[in-house]
Amino acid sequence: MPDTQDNKPCTRIFVLEDDLWYSQFLSYHLSLNPDHEVKVFNSVDNFLKALPERPDVVTLDYHLPGYKGEDILGRVLQESPNTYTLVVSGQEDITKAVALMKQGAYDYISKNGETKERLWSIVEKVKQDITLRRELEELRREVAQRESLGRELIGTSEPMRRVFSLVEKAAKSNINVTITGETGTGKELVARAIHQHSSRAKGPFVAVNVSAIPSELLESELFGHEKGAFTGAAALRIGKFEEANGGTLFLDEIGEMEVGLQSKLLRVLQEREVTRVGSTGTVSVDVRILTATHRNLLDEVRRGTFREDFYYRLLGIQVHLPPLRERGHDVLLIAQRILQVFCAENGMPSKSLSGEAQKRLLRHAYPGNVRELKAVVELAAVLSEGDVIGVEDIQLEELQPKAGAAIGIADMEEEKTLDEHIADTVQRYLERYDYNVVRVAEKLKVGRSTIYRMIRRKEVFLKEEA
């Protein structure tokens, strides 16, 4: 719809009148308002051809040669139901006016000395109705979007309200987004919500966990490869960038990417084209990038493990997901949703949490965040005998201190980074489970590659190294 200079929407008015003088009379008076865009039609055929343009208002001459006013009104109501139709007639026929308004006409105007003032008054009222309708439609869209977000991201806590606000803003633009938060907080869920509420929603959403793919294979995974590019490359394969063309590419745990590949990815972000492994040509891609990490990337930049130019290229909007322990009663909202979905998917009768079970869930710190809560609630659903989950069904493992040591005030007051606290937790679990990496990964709900990477970086140690 055309706009005026101050961006106020124009009111588009079609005038259908076979009397040339009277059509000019109506057009002149309606055009006195610069916010009106007036088109005059002296031919019914031309008017009907232009009707798909969906005017806001139509002034319809009731007496047109070869046509009945009711028939033309019916076409307008059918093809442009949101258009306000004002029937203009040389005869003041109350019975006809009532019939036309019952059919769907907005108003009936007689051609007389008061036509100009009455027409102006009616059009002003119509414009108010149009404004209210547009505001209502916008409000409905916003409510629908919030309800949809609520189905994907659950929470009423203040930290989550901030997340919802940022997700809505991110969805309205094409800017890059960096999602941060501890492992298990639901970073991919946020990425999917941004994609599903963006203009790219009809395009693909492709997720890649950088930490789960060996660094020597990651380039081929992202950019693709040509047949024969390396041993085992038996056929051409497109990469994740090409798969996500027209949509969104989500790179989870971007902080685990090797510096050498960071430089190649930076070039892709700048040039918007990829080069498959083993090829000299390029392929253009139109992809929005969303990234996630549990690390502080700025600290990684200072350590030299993350390129500064790559960091600022990715940064965009930062969405930080709070850990579950900071979300208060969101724990119970999420638990109920997990329980509802799990029971439905497994053909189980609906279950609820007893008061004591709820208190037990609220007291726990959840080092594994939502991922841990999900495992606990689903297990409780299986263990419970009836339709109410009791406190005895809630199986939570509390973090134990190192053998021969106690966690006291001094430990709590010691200033450490989040990565250092994570490393301490992993080290304690390694010691508790006799350095069994597979067992520790299962307990902490993380990938084994994450723990092996921490060992390689000497952030945690195995028994022989300790």
CA distances from 213 to 204, 205, 210, 288, 450 (A): 21, 19, 6, 21, 11
**Residue reference for tokens 């966990």:** 209
3-state secondary structure of 110: strand
* Per-residue model confidence as pLDDT tens digits over 27-65: 898 898 888 999 999 888 899 899 988 899 999 888 788
* Per-residue model confidence as pLDDT tens digits over 282-294: 889 999 999 999 9
Q: What is the pLDDT of residue 3?
A: 47
Look up the pTM and report it. 0.55
Q: What is the pLDDT of residue 140?
A: 59
* Per-residue model confidence as pLDDT tens digits over 395-417: 887 544 333 333 433 344 445 66
Q: What is the pLDDT of residue 138?
A: 65
Q: CB atoms < 10 A from the CB of 320, how many?
A: 15
Cα–Cα distance measured from residue 453 to residue 447, given in angstroms and rounded to the nearest whole number: 10
The closest alpha carbon to 44, from 24, 74, 1, 82, belongs to: 74
Cα–Cα distance measured from residue 258 to residue 457, given in angstroms and rounded to the nearest whole number: 13
* Per-residue model confidence as pLDDT tens digits over 288-343: 999 999 988 999 999 899 999 999 998 889 999 999 999 988 899 899 989 998 99
Cα–Cα distance measured from residue 246 to residue 269, given in angstroms and rounded to the nearest whole number: 14
- Please say if the pLDDT value at position 354 is more than 70: yes
Task: Tell me which of 102 and 136 has the higher pLDDT.
Answer: 102
Q: What is the pLDDT of residue 351?
A: 92
Q: Structural domains in the chain?
A: 11-135 (3.40.50.2300), 153-320 (3.40.50.300), 324-393 (1.10.8.60), 409-456 (1.10.10)
pLDDT mean over 154-174: 89
Cα–Cα distance measured from residue 324 to residue 327, given in angstroms and rounded to the nearest whole number: 5
Let me know: does 270 contact 313? Beta carbons within 8 Å. yes
pLDDT mean over 342-357: 91
Contacts of 284 (CB under 8 A, 6+ apart): 272, 273
